Amino acid sequence: MNTREEGTDSENSSNAKSSPQGTQGSGGQNGGGRVLLAAFSRPPEAKGEDVNSSLVIAAEPVAAYPGLREASQYLGALTEVAKAQGFSVDDEPYEIQIGTKVVVRGDFHKDIGSRVMRQSTLVFLAQAYAVSITVIAGTQDDVEELVDGVSFGAGK
Tens digits of per-residue pLDDT, 63-104? 999 999 999 999 999 999 999 999 999 999 999 999 889 999
Residue 9 predicted with pLDDT over 60: no
> What are the residues facing 35 on neighbouring strands?
58
For the chain, report the end-to-end CA distance as a whole number of angstroms: 29
70-80 pLDDT, tens digit per residue, is 999 999 999 99
Give the global pTM. Answer: 0.78
18-57 pLDDT, tens digit per residue, is 334 444 334 434 468 899 999 999 888 888 888 889 999 9
Sign of CA dihedral 53, 126, 98, 123: negative
Q: For 2-148, which CATH class?
A: alpha beta
